[in-house]
Amino acid sequence: MDVATIPALQSVVSCLEKKVEEFQASVEHISNTNDEILNHLKKEDEKIKSLEKHVNELEKDVQKKDKEIWELREDLEELQQYTRNRNAEIINIPEKSGTEREEDLLEVLDKIAKAGNIPFHKQEVDVIHRLPSSNKNKPRKIVVQFKNRTARNQLLQNKKHGVTVNMIDSESQDTSKIYLNEHLTAATKHLLWRAQQEAKAKGYSAVWVRDGKIFMKKELADRRSMRIRNEGDLESL
């Protein structure tokens, strides 16, 4: 090797060493940065897991509250229905022109009972009146409250009484059937309607109401019936 080239080689080596040191410093910086990023990601991951746990706990609380709310609603609905356990609804009685008195409605009910051979005594009635209605095409329903549930049940026990409007009004040609039903809350009526729709769709033979409670049977010969308390019961059929 020419002595003259040694300084040049030393310069190149020195330059390479400097480059290596710079590269090592750069690698170390990158490594440190990666460690910082990994630590940061680890902390964020812990935060996310903590938040997920908190969200799950909140969801459980919400589900619990929703269940409690539904249970309270069902309890309230049952209480509202219970307050009507002495009531009956009379449907399809034409309204007379002028003011209808309570005595007039009592007379109508007495005629229905006689025509259908239904046990009834006027003195057992506490209150009788028409219900408000927004449907102007149909006569308003009549609600009658008896002094006790036994008297109400005697009126309702014969569902196939076959009484029509012209049977209680000699001047009428209307053969529309008169219905005697339990006085249900709006929510119970809607649930009954839904139960009837589901029964048709899923082949159930019977849907009925007893003391404000809705029941279904798959087959008439079945000994046991199913109580329908809410929409969830219908969805699980």
For residue 32, what pLDDT is reported? 73
Question: Does the global pTM surpass 0.85?
Answer: no
Residue 1 pLDDT exceeds 60: no
Please check whether residues 99 and 175 belong to one and the same domain: yes
Percent of the chain at pLDDT above 70? 91
- Residue type at position 188: T
For residue 17, what pLDDT is reported? 67
Q: How many structural domains is the chain composed of?
A: 3
**Where in the sequence is the domain holding 135, given as residue range(s)?**
85-183
Please check whether residues 120 and 133 belong to one and the same domain: yes
For residue 13, what pLDDT is reported? 62
- Residue type at position 66: D
For residue 203, what pLDDT is reported? 92
Please check whether residues 76 and 98 belong to one and the same domain: no
Tell me the mean pLDDT in the region 166-190: 93
Nearest 5 degrees, angle CA 123-CA 129-CA 133? 160
Cα–Cα distance, 106 to 67 (Å, whole number): 44
Q: Quick one: pLDDT band at residue 150, thresholds 50, 70, 90?
A: very high
For residue 91, what pLDDT is reported? 95
For residue 6, what pLDDT is reported? 60
The tens digit of pLDDT for each residue in 62-72 reads 888 888 888 88
The tens digit of pLDDT for each residue in 48-86 reads 888 889 889 888 998 888 888 888 888 888 899 999 999
The tens digit of pLDDT for each residue in 2-41 reads 555 666 666 666 676 677 666 677 777 777 777 778 888 8
Please check whether residues 188 and 172 belong to one and the same domain: no
> What Cα–Cα distance (Å) separates residue 24 from each residue in 5, 10, 13, 33, 102?
28, 21, 16, 14, 104
CATH code of the domain in which 104 resides: 3.30.70.1820
